[in-house]
Each structure stands twice: as structure tokens, then as C-alpha cells.
Chains A and B, each alone.
Chain A
């Protein structure tokens, strides 16, 4: 993919991530634990990471976080989302090379756990209450489970998009 096609594809990915993010925000929490969510928009970040480049995936993620805060969040949720997203992105960038593509789920798991850790760190710093760290073990477990799910979903999506030869 080159030129305008590439930019168009990035825009489509950004739009898809934003829609998934907004729809997910409307669903009531599955478990009443703060910070636990499926993180479906992460599927798109992974797809961008594998079908485009690290830099372009970063742009798609950044646009989704900014637009997501505008349409479905608040200024403070932007802060948590951005820091968690940044950590997850750093993990994906670092592991994309050494981990083979058929183990995308593993990258996704580590990125999801990193996202939850980042979010927790910002929360503790913002509310200055270390007591909320009691939720950390559950957030690690939820990161592993949701990361596995989004990772497998992203792997199938990458294969499907490759087949249609854009």
C-alpha cells in the first residue's frame, strides 16, 4: 500500500477504532471493578501495527484516544486512557520484532497488562490514595484475559485483510 491508499486505510482504521471505542463505552460494566474493560479498540491498534508501521499505528492510536475523549469521555478519562495507551504502544513496538506474528495474542496480552498498570499508576498519582492498589491483581488478570481475546481477534483480522489485497 502506498500514498493516498495508505492514508485512506489509516483513516478507515481510525474511524473503526473510534466506533468500537464509543460502542464499548455504552455497554454497562460486565464486572463492577474500576478499570476492567474489553479494550476492543486495541484490535485496531494491533492491525495497524502489523499491516502498516509502528509510527502509523501510533498515529492511529493517538487519533483514537483524542477523538474518543471528545466523543465518549471526559478530560480526566483522557489522561488515564492516554497513559495506559502509551505504555501498551511501547510494549507493542518493542515486541513486534522478536515475537512472531502467529503469537500476536502474546503481544496483546502483555500490552493489555501494561495498559492496566499504566492506568493504575495514573489513578494512584491523581487521587493520591495508594489504597486503590488492592484492585491491581484483578486488573492484571483482566489484562491477560481481555488481551488474549483482542489478540486472537486481531490475528484473524490481519489475515483476512491481507487476503483481500488492498
Chain B
């Protein structure tokens, strides 16, 4: 294969991946239930539409510590003691969005769509 063909092929893969990515972002499930899971086990469910005052949640496990900020309609990790702090940089997760992941602490926060009354 010529170098030109390889580069074209790689460019095609990049374009396809970006298209799939944007499809994921556009069609992300909308909802108000935030689910926090640690090590694959559900830790807490919070209905973000029913949060009156913002509050902080301290999550401490054998892997490390994360501070989760819960606000009306949004959830974010405000601080963490992991080395990369990607979860903090990921910012606020609102009604539709991609999961916040703190891999070193095995913590995931995502928004679940569907009936909001079932978990109130």
C-alpha cells in the first residue's frame, strides 16, 4: 500500500469515529436521575430535578476520595485525590451528557433517562 492510501484510510477511520462520537453526543439519553457507581456497584441515585440547595457528597473508598457536587439539574466532581483529575476536568454533567469517569477510583457517574418518579 502506498503511503497516500494508508493516510487516506486512517483519515476515513478518524472521520467515521468522529461521526459516531457526535451521534452519541446528540442522542445521549436525557433524564434527571444521576447514578453514581463504584467498582461496578450502584452507590447512589439522585434525582437532580428535586435538589433544592446545592450540596457536596464525600465519597471515600479503598481506591481514593472524590468530592461530588450536587446541584439542581447538574452533578460534577469538584475535587479528587487521584493523580490525573480527569473527573474534575470533565466538568458538570447535566440532563443529557456523557458519563463522568474516575478510572483510578473506579467511580462512574451517569444520567439515566426514563421515569423520574420511580426513584423519588
Contacts and interface: CB of A to CB of B under 8 A. Distances in A.
Is chain B a partner of chain A in the same complex?
Answer: yes
B85 A28 contact: yes
Interface in B1-40: 3, 6, 10, 13-14, 17-18, 20-21, 24, 28, 37, 39-40
B13 A77 contact: no
Interface residues of A, number: 31
Contacts of B102: 34
A58 interface: no
Contact of A34 (B64, B83, B101, B110): B101
A157 B98 CA distance: 39
A127 B39 contact: yes
Nearest to A128: B40
Chain B interface extent, by class: 20 to 34
Contacts of B87: 34
Interface string B71-95: 0000000000011111101110000
- What secondary structure prevails in chain A residues at the interface with B? helix
A109 B103 contact: no
Interface string A3-30: 0000000000000000000000100110
Given A29-B84, A29-B85, A32-B89, A77 B101 contact: no
8 contacts: A25-B84, A28-B89, A33-B86, A34-B101, A76-B106, A126-B106, A128-B40, A140-B13
Interface of B: 3, 6, 10, 13-14, 17-18, 20-21, 24, 28, 37, 39-40, 63-64, 82-87, 89-91, 98-99, 101-104, 106, 108, 110
